Amino acid sequence: MVGPAPGAQAGTRSPGVGAVSERQPASGEIGTAGELLRSLSSARQVYALYPTQHPKRTEAARDIAELVRKLGEVRGRAPALFVSGGNFYVGPTLLAWESLTLNRLARSLADAGVQSLEFEVHVSELDIDALVRLVVGEPAALDEMTAVKVNRATPILPTADLTGMAELLQSYAAGLELLRQTAARLLAGRPADLHATVRLTEHLADLISTDPAQALLLTTVKSYDEYTYHHMVNVCILSLALARAIGLSREQSLVLGIGGLLHDVGKVKVPQEILRKDGALDAEQWRLIQRHPVDGAGLVAVTTRDPLHPAVGIVLEHHAAYDGSGYPSLTGGRPASLAARIVAVADSFDAMTSKRSYRKPEERRQALAILQAGAGRSHDPRVVRTFVRLMGLFPVGSLVQLSTGDVAVVVRNHEHLLARPVVRLVLDPRGGAAEPVEMDLAEANRGGEYRWSVVRTIDPVEVGIDMLSLLASGRLDVPPPPEVGPGLVHEPAPGETPPPGYVDTHVAPGDGAPAHRPG
Ligand SMILES: [Fe+2]
Ligand SMILES: [Fe+2]
């Protein structure tokens, strides 16, 4: 299971001594705290590479000291940072992106026994130098710090809602790390770690059955520089939620989850310059991308040591369309398995709602409409129907404008009354940050009239909202992490208009067919 919320284990060095009453971070502090953690993570690498007194070490320490001073500008002192259960917090607020991406730093801090850090504003570069040395495994450096206090602060606990999200987030981060390791192992010619994959899938399945809506919210997490890994974890979560809605057994669901998690693993064999190419691909490049189901199935077969393992079939068939088109062509025109058809729907939905190098993401509601339009051709209509019911008329994670003028995020759907989800307020009618209050749009007043309604859906990308940080912290003043590069190219989902340069390898050359799959 996941570690306790911050505070539950803080203070091992001098428990309770000088404990501060932690407060909500002020506007701007969350972003700077994230920047500080990213700098600490880079410094960790610099210190591992360069010897004492090296100018690169000095430069890294200076950058961090500068960020501490910036953090202290708001209230005269920097807020305390916490690391707990693999997640980072500033005060009681979960730092979502840093928790997802800086897992090695979290581990190094945990290994060094660091659970909380407080910086005095006048921190020196020597203090920071000692801190980084502590992080890279020099325990004696702890006594050299004067303006950095380790394990003194005891934060207040986050609300139960955010604790649940923290737990999910940690499993999500574990999924990303597992996929990074899987890619490295496969590239080195070694099989993936099947036990770790099964354990993670089991854990995700448990979390999804505890609170499917929270888990679905997490699939709004997208990354531009690690698109494929985020996509694979999202597809795993969506597939497990679909399996639950369809009523599959736990055993069937786990196989489906493993297939979902590994479905694009064959992309390790696609050259990075093709995956990251910001423009049209030629026929040969698309041919290479379209090999990934076959390559992936081979890699999963080596991992499971069983070519007949159901996860192998899922990976092989996840781009096979319901009407027999898609790739690769299945022998004898046989249909794809139900598990592959489930993963295919989850895959298309997540791919469509992600940024590509050649177009902006679809709104979640629009993506459902595209899936429905392709039901019976691209996708199994029964699976699409269940998915649409699962996601609701306003899918969990959508931003909506209410009749009051407020903007809210959909956090739960009712079994019936699909147009009346439970939402959490995000912006007030004037565009300012709203208290994250939950409102049930199915609630009627005494006269039987609904009190609030959805007027329209809003695209979070258009209004510049980082959904992950919003969901994790309940706050809006969190900037997304710096964008490293363009979105990765992904193969067009069934029914989706392909980018220029796409060549359908299933259409025989010269038959006059359009350059994309029918439907
Ligand atoms: Fe794929
Ligand atoms: Fe995919």
How far, in Å, CA of 289 to CA of 327, rounded? 11
Question: Residue 249, Cβ neighbours under 10 Å: how many?
Answer: 9
- pLDDT score at 459: 67
AA letter at 81: L
Ligand nearest to the CA of 297: 1
Tell me: the pLDDT tens digits for 397-443? 788 889 988 888 888 888 788 889 999 888 888 877 788 788 999 99
Task: Read off the pLDDT of residues 126-138 as tens digits, 9 standing for 90 and up.
Answer: 999 999 999 999 9
Residue 319: nearest ligand to its CA?
A: 1
Please give the Cα distance from 253 to 331 (Å, whole number).
25
Q: Whose atoms come closest to the Cα of 350: which ligand?
A: 2
Ligand 2 centre distance from Cα of residue 219 (Å): 14
How far apart, in whole angstroms, are the C-alpha atoms of residue 59 and residue 121? 18
What angle, rounded to 10 degrees, do the helices at 227-246 and 160-187 form?
120
Q: Secondary structure of 459-505 in the HEC alphabet?
A: CCCCCCCCHHHHHHHCCCCCCCCCCCCCCCCCCCCCCCCCCCCCCCC
Which whole number is the average pLDDT over 36-45?
A: 93
Which conformational region is residue 470 in: left (phi greater than 0), alpha (psi within -120 to 50 degrees), or beta? alpha
CA of 266 to the centre of ligand 1 (A): 8
Residue with tokens 């910086």: 119
Q: What is the pLDDT of residues 289-316, one digit of tens each?
A: 899 999 999 999 999 998 889 999 999 9
| CA 290 to ligand 1 centroid distance, Å | 8
Q: Residue 251's Cα: distance from chain center in Å?
A: 25
Quick check: 281 pLDDT over 90?
Answer: no
Tens of pLDDT, residues 162-182: 566 777 888 888 898 899 889
Q: What would the two tokens of residue 473 be?
A: 């912290």
Cα-to-centroid distance, 260 and ligand 2 (Å): 9
For residue 82, the SS3 value is: strand
This prediction's pTM: 0.74
Residue 144 pLDDT > 90: yes
In the structure, what pLDDT confidence band is assigned to residue 202 with cuts at 50, 70 and 90?
A: very high
pLDDT of residue 512: 31
CA 347 / ligand 2 centre spacing (Å): 5
pLDDT at residue 272, rounded to an integer: 82
Ligand 2 centroid to Cα of residue 378, in Å, is 15
Residue 49: Cβ-neighbour burial (10 angstroms; 0-12, 13-18, 19+): exposed
Residue 248 sits at the vertex; the CA angle it makes with 205 and 264, to the nearest 5 degrees, is 60
Residue 243 and residue 343 in contact, taking contact as beta carbons nearer than 8 Å: no
- Indicate which ligand has the atom closest to the C-alpha of 292: 1
Higher-pLDDT residue of 37, 464: 37
Q: Which of 506, 480, 478, 508 is nearest to 492 (CA)?
A: 506
How far, in Å, CA of 265 to CA of 294, rounded? Answer: 10
Which ligand does the CA of 266 lie closest to? 1
Instruction: Give the CA angle between residues 411, 413, 416 to the nearest 5°.
Output: 165
**∠ CA 411-417-423, rounded to 5°:** 20
CA 143 / ligand 2 centre spacing (Å): 49
Q: Compute the average pLDDT of residues 54-70.
A: 93
- C-alpha 232 to ligand 2 mean position (Å): 7
Angle, in degrees to the nearest 10, between helices 160-187 and 194-210: 160
pLDDT band (50, 70, 90) for residue 7: very low
CA of 263 to the centre of ligand 2 (A): 6
Q: How far is the CA of 338 from the centre of ligand 2 (A)?
A: 17
Burial of 335 (0-12, 13-18, 19+ CB in 10 A): middle
More confident call, 277 vs 268: 268
Separation of alpha carbons 366 and 186, rounded Å: 36
- What does the pLDDT read at residue 101? 78
Tell me the three state secondary structure of residue 72. Answer: helix
- Before 328, cis peptide (omega within 30)? yes
More confident residue, 328 or 221: 328
Nearest ligand to residue 294 Cα: 1
CA 509 to ligand 1 center in whole angstroms: 23
Specify the pLDDT at position 484: 41
Check residues 97 and 61 and name the one with the higher pLDDT.
61
Please tell me the distance between residue 421's alpha carbon and the centre of ligand 2 in angstroms. Answer: 29
Mean pLDDT of 203-211: 88
| 318 has pLDDT over 90 | yes
31 C-alpha vs ligand 1 centroid, how far in Å?
Answer: 34
Q: Report residues near ion ligand 1: CB below 5 Å.
A: 264
- pLDDT at residue number 280: 76
Report CA(102)–ligand 2 centroid distance (Å).
24
Distance (angstroms) between ligand 2 centre and the Cα of 237 equals 13
Residues in the chain: 519
Q: What average pLDDT does this structure show over 62-88?
A: 85
Phi, psi of 187 (to 5 degrees): -65, -30
Measured from the alpha carbon of residue 232, the closest ligand is 2
CB crowding 10-48: b at 16 or more within 10 Å, else e: bbeeeeeeebbebeebeeebbbbbbbbbbbbbebbebbe
Q: What is the C-alpha separation between 339 and 337, in angstroms, rounded? A: 5
Instruction: Quote the ligand 1 centre to 224 CA distance (angstroms).
Output: 17
Q: How crowded is the C-beta side of 8, counted as CA atoms within 13 Å?
A: 10
Q: How far is the CA of 378 from the centre of ligand 1 (A)?
A: 14
Among 443, 450, 447, 449, CA closest to 412: 443
| pLDDT (mean) for 447-459 | 84
Confidence band, pLDDT 50/70/90 cuts, at residue 487: very low
Ligand in nearest proximity to the CA of 296: 1
Torsion angle in degrees (nearest 10) through CA of 201, 206, 212, 215: -50
Query: How far does the centroid of ligand 2 lie from the alpha carbon of residue 290, in Å?
Result: 11
Say what the pLDDT of residue 24 is.
64
Distance (angstroms) between ligand 2 centre and the Cα of 364 equals: 17
- Residues with beta carbon < 5 A to ion ligand 2? 264, 347
Rounded to the nearest 5 degrees, what angle is found at the Cα of 106, between the Cα atoms of 102 and 110?
A: 170
pLDDT greater than 70 at residue 499: no
Distance 148 CA to ligand 2 centre (A): 45
pLDDT tens for residues 375-398? 999 999 999 999 998 888 787 778
Give the ligand with the smallest distance to the CA of 351: 2
Distance in Å, CA 103 to ligand 1 centroid: 26
Nearest ligand, CA 348: 2
The closest ligand to the CA of 229 turns out to be 2
Of the listed ranges 280-284, 421-425, 465-469, the one predicted with least confidence: 465-469
State the distance from the centre of ligand 2 to the C-alpha of 188, rounded, in angstroms.
22
Instruction: Determine the distance separating the centroid of ligand 1 and the alpha carbon of 39, expressed in angstroms.
Output: 34
263 CA distance to ligand 1 centroid (A)?
6
- State the pLDDT confidence band at 461, using cuts at 50, 70 and 90: low
- Residue closest to 87 by CA, chosen among 114, 104, 106, 113: 106
Average the pLDDT over 68-72 and give the result: 88
321 alpha carbon to ligand 2 midpoint, in Å? 14
Q: CA 378 to CA 372: how far, in whole Å?
A: 10
Give the amino acid at 36: L
370 C-alpha vs ligand 1 centroid, how far in Å?
18
